Amino acid sequence: MKKIGFVTPWYGANIPGGAETELRGLASHLFAAGTELEILTTCVQQFASDWNVNYYKPGRDIVDGIPVRRFPVRKRDTAVFDAVNAKLIKKLPVTEDEETVFMEEMVNSPDLYQYMLQNQDDYALFVYIPYMFGTTYYGVKQCPEKSVLIPCFHDEAYIHMDIFKEVFEQAAGVVYLSQPECELANRVFRFRNAEQAVLGAGVDTQFVSDADRFRRKYGISQPFILYAGRKDAGKNIDTLIKYFREYRNRHAESELLLVMIGGGEVTVPEDIRDAVRDLGFVDQQDKFDAYAAAEVMCQPSKNESFSIVIMESWLAGRPVLVHGGCAVTRDFVRRANAGLYFDNYFEFEGCIDYFRQHQETAGQMGQLGREFVLQNFAWDVIVKKYTDFFGKVIQK
């Protein structure tokens, strides 16, 4: 089989982001299993960098053993892009011309697209992740018959842009990380000829966690809710803090803490600062130990196509609490029978009280979650699913 080209806007060993992490894991495990592949990307460092800056040198590179080919980005009109993007963030309607501006002033590399067009015979497939960037849109346009999307769709304004429909509907294959993502995609797009499959994402399952080690290291003896991830409004962490504050005000005798790990900053009201511990970035082992020590790991985000932190909490044997407004995380909780979900404050309070008052059941939920992850998302399972799927698309 010819090699597979994974196309993504940026690629690096430690850059943050769900899609970025998933691609690194998928590429490394497929490569280790014998799949010939290459990462095709730009010279931009990461999502949070200036998309006009070529941080890396163009040309071939090796990242953690994986071959990478980098291409320079062209200069973009940031102000024009930001004006359209601001409307999309606010869910305001945009015109056809504004959609065109959005794509043209997105992160783009004409050199990358030209390379793909000229060298497409060297590749069995081009696989794109995630969906909304110029590298995916213009890449698929070069040779749709060899294009597979791993879109990481959310129910957000971007997915409803007409400019995506005319291109993505020509793709040869689409891979989804969850069943709700698949259902969303097929409400928005008409994939007449694409091979489609819900394959999920790979999760490292071999770690060992130690709750007592975490408590000793950070001096935390009280019970706590854990938040793990980027601390910004897009992850709905403000709702978690608001609800936790209300919980503490209504339960004055409670010793319950909120422990947060991960990057970013968030404002914590002064009256609950003693009950909130923001540990910032911690190393991987500390993160795994934190899962095991928590009463419950709360994932309040409403926009997820998958959630690694949910899977990691289950692998550590602890249940999760998710927002009912996120179809993906709610579906995982239901399928695994390994947590609860809330839509308002009083449901949040009820869920927290249930976990605290039913410790044995909470532990059983965590174990059910662990079994669910091992059966569906261990890397050996995922590698076989993706290898079989790619083979099917190539044969078709």
Residue 252, pLDDT score: 87
Residue 30, pLDDT score: 97
Q: Are residues 120 and 218 in the same domain?
A: no
Residue 10, pLDDT score: 98
- pTM equals 0.89
Q: Are residues 155 and 10 in the same domain?
A: yes
Structure tokens at 96: 């056809």
Q: Are residues 189 and 226 in the same domain?
A: no
Residue 232, pLDDT score: 84
**Which pLDDT band holds residue 350 (cuts at 50, 70, 90)?**
very high
Q: Are residues 33 and 171 in the same domain?
A: yes
Q: Which CATH number belongs to the domain containing residue 141 in this structure?
A: 3.40.50.2000
**pLDDT > 90 in the chain, percent:** 92
**Which pLDDT band holds residue 330 (cuts at 50, 70, 90)?**
very high
Residue 18, pLDDT score: 81
Q: Are residues 237 and 137 in the same domain?
A: no
Mean pLDDT confidence for 194-205: 96
**Which pLDDT band holds residue 152 (cuts at 50, 70, 90)?**
very high
45 exposure class (CB count in 10 Å sphere: 0-12, 13-18, 19+): middle
Residue 381, pLDDT score: 96
**Which pLDDT band holds residue 17 (cuts at 50, 70, 90)?**
confident
Residue 171, pLDDT score: 97
Q: Are residues 382 and 368 in the same domain?
A: no
Cross-strand bridge partners of residue 4: 37, 125
- Phi/psi of residue 392, each to 5°? -65, -45
**pLDDT > 70 in the chain, percent:** 100
Q: Are 393 and 173 in contact (CB under 8 A)?
A: yes
Please identify which residue in the block is written with the tokens 């897009």.
Answer: 234
The chain-wide mean pLDDT, for the chain, equals: 96
Mean pLDDT confidence for 57-86: 97
> Given strand 320-323, what is the order of strands in its sheet?
276-280, 257-261, 224-228, 296-299, 320-323, 339-342
pLDDT in tens, 95-139: 999 999 999 999 999 999 999 999 999 999 999 999 999 999 999
C-alpha to C-alpha distance for 169 and 102, rounded to whole angstroms = 19
- Phi/psi of residue 267, each to 5°? -85, 125
Q: Are residues 54 and 143 in the same domain?
A: yes
Residue 305, pLDDT score: 86
C-alpha to C-alpha distance for 292 and 315, rounded to whole angstroms = 9
- Phi/psi of residue 43, each to 5°? -95, 5
Q: Are residues 232 and 309 in the same domain?
A: yes
Residue 158, pLDDT score: 96
Distances 5 to 72, 104, 196, 369 between C-alpha atoms, Å:
17, 23, 19, 33
Q: Are residues 243 and 341 in the same domain?
A: yes
- For residue 294, pLDDT over 80 is answered with yes
Residue 16, pLDDT score: 82
Mean pLDDT confidence for 9-30: 92
Q: Are residues 132 and 177 in the same domain?
A: yes
pLDDT in tens, 244-276: 999 999 998 999 999 999 988 899 999 999 999
| Residue 243, domain extent | 211-376
**For the chain, how many structural domains are there in total?**
2
Residue 263, pLDDT score: 87
Q: Are residues 263 and 169 in the same domain?
A: no
pLDDT in tens, 301-328: 998 989 999 999 999 999 999 999 999 9
Mean pLDDT confidence for 331-339: 97
pLDDT in tens, 29-38: 999 999 999 9
- For residue 1, pLDDT over 80 is answered with no
Residue 43, pLDDT score: 98
C-alpha to C-alpha distance for 147 and 136, rounded to whole angstroms = 9
- For residue 349, pLDDT over 80 is answered with yes
Q: Are residues 367 and 382 in the same domain?
A: no
